[in-house]
Amino acid sequence: MAMMTGEQYVESMRAMKLKVYMFGKKIENPVDDPILRPSLNSVKATYDLAQNPEYEDLMTATSIFTGEKINRFLHIHQSPEDLVKKVKMQRLCGQQTAACFQRCVGMDAFNAVYSTSYEIDKKYGTSYFENFKKFAAYCQEKDFTVDGAMTDPKGDRGLAPHAQPDPDMYLRVVEKREDGIVVRGAKAHQTGAINSQEILIMPTISMGPEDKDYAVAFAVPTDTEGITMIIGRQSCDTRKLEGSELDVGNSEFGGVEALVIFDDVFVPNDRIFLNGEYEFAGMLVERFAGYHRQSYGGCKVGVGDVLIGASALAAEYNGVAKASHIKDKLIEMIHLNETLYCCGIACSAEGSETESGNYMIDLLLANVCKQNVTRFPYEIARLAEDIAGGIMVTAPSEADLRGEETGKWVEKYMVGAAGVSVENRIRILRLIENLCLGTAAVGYRTESLHGAGSPQAQRIMISRQGNLPMKKELAKKIAKVKE
């Protein structure tokens, strides 16, 4: 099957029988729901961009299974160049949507499970690697979007999975059959789950022998019996119900997260990639986290490009673009954003081959990349809010701008620099609001902190990967220390 167009993707999702709840009610048609549709459009953009010859080199790759052209979001990385192109593709998608386009987790899960399943098979003689290759080739053939699901609810964070008062706080195997397994639990913060045809499950932490029932990785269609998705709230989400394109800020694109429930879901044997080999859970988590921390050096930079551009326009529309402190703030925003990009490119260029043959990023540099992402977008957003001014969050609504009684006053008192319409000024202010405080902030600010692991998770990995003993020896040699 050839790669899908954006419209074909939308129709493929319309055919799914998803069980989705939002605001306490079942959503019968998630595809056309006004709150959810912008998130679908963000994924659709990844299909449309792949059809554009201008972006073919970044958006597509060659399948290692079939030799056919595929969407890069389904690719198994074959070189450092592939890793670099991944980051550049993510920046492009961020620039085009100014939102989370939701396919990164699936791509990163693909590559982490690929190499880990190979090494499990090597030790135990299992068939997980063959299972996964078959699954990956199937997704490439169908041009599916895959949701990568790692984060469990966790319950009491001070207790291991097996020690939780409620054993379902981490997703687990509750029954083993000849033809497969039955799983129960949930995955939280699942970005784009409702816009994916498949969901790829991984464990969320390293595990010991007592946790072997929780050491499980598998894939199932997102409309499998027993799966329920509960949509998470986002700031300003119900503005999308008001019919105002202007007030939303970014009316076409968005992101969405869900709590995904697995209520005794059956998984056939050929869809299982880890099942009880607990000592490999940590490897899978570390590799996925590394890939996903690399991803933030692309996607967040692309969204940052839009926010910087909007801030520069706000300065022009406010009549302060020539002020030296405004210029300096924009320079600082660019500096911070490009520093994030540098880290994403660096960890990619330093990538190396795994035993399975795919390529892994430099883990230390990937964690440095994500550590910066936990900080810099917050400063970029702060500077954007500074430049925009308080009117960003107190501007009248579109209804008041169009109102018979109020419109003349909004037009009179919301004016900025000469030659700039009030509507255009408000549009840019609402976009900045959306990126810094609204629905897009979930995928920019807050996700920058907690996505792919909170800041402490990266600091732990930096400590492990930093090789202090080697650095001590370098110092001893230069100082001629003799022991």
Task: Catalogue the active-site residues.
Answer: 100, 104, 191, 257, 292, 296, 299, 447
CA angle 436/438/442 to nearest 5° reads 80
Quickly list DSSP for 180-211: EEEEEEEE-S-TTGGG-SEEEE--SS---GGG
* Whether the Cβ atoms of residue 6 and residue 40 lie closer than 8 Å to each other: no
Sign of the CA dihedral with 22 first, then 24, 29, and 32 last:
negative
Closest CA to 96 of 46, 146, 36, 35: 46
**CA distance linking residue 308 with residue 329, whole number of Å:** 10
Q: Is residue 100 left, alpha or beta, with left meaning phi > 0 and alpha meaning psi from -120 to 50?
A: beta
Strands 227-231 and 20-22 turn out to be parallel
**CA distance linking residue 227 with residue 224, whole number of Å:** 6
**CA distance linking residue 418 with residue 55, whole number of Å:** 38
Which are the contacts of 139, defined by CB distance < 8 A and separation ≥ 6?
A: 74, 146, 197, 198
**CA distance linking residue 277 with residue 209, whole number of Å:** 9
Q: Is residue 140 left, alpha or beta, with left meaning phi > 0 and alpha meaning psi from -120 to 50?
A: alpha
Quickly list DSSP for 134-187: HHHHHHHHHT--EEEE-----SSTTS-GGG-SSGGGS-EEEEEETTEEEEEEEE
Tokens of 353: 């081959």
**CA distance linking residue 413 with residue 55, whole number of Å:** 43
- Residue 264's Cβ-count burial label (10 Å; 0-12, 13-18, 19+) is exposed
CA 48 to each of CA 42, 76, 89, 315: distance values in angstroms, whole numbers, following the listed order = 10, 21, 13, 32
Largest alpha-carbon pair distance within the chain? 86
Tokens of 59: 């958006």
**CA distance linking residue 14 with residue 195, whole number of Å:** 10
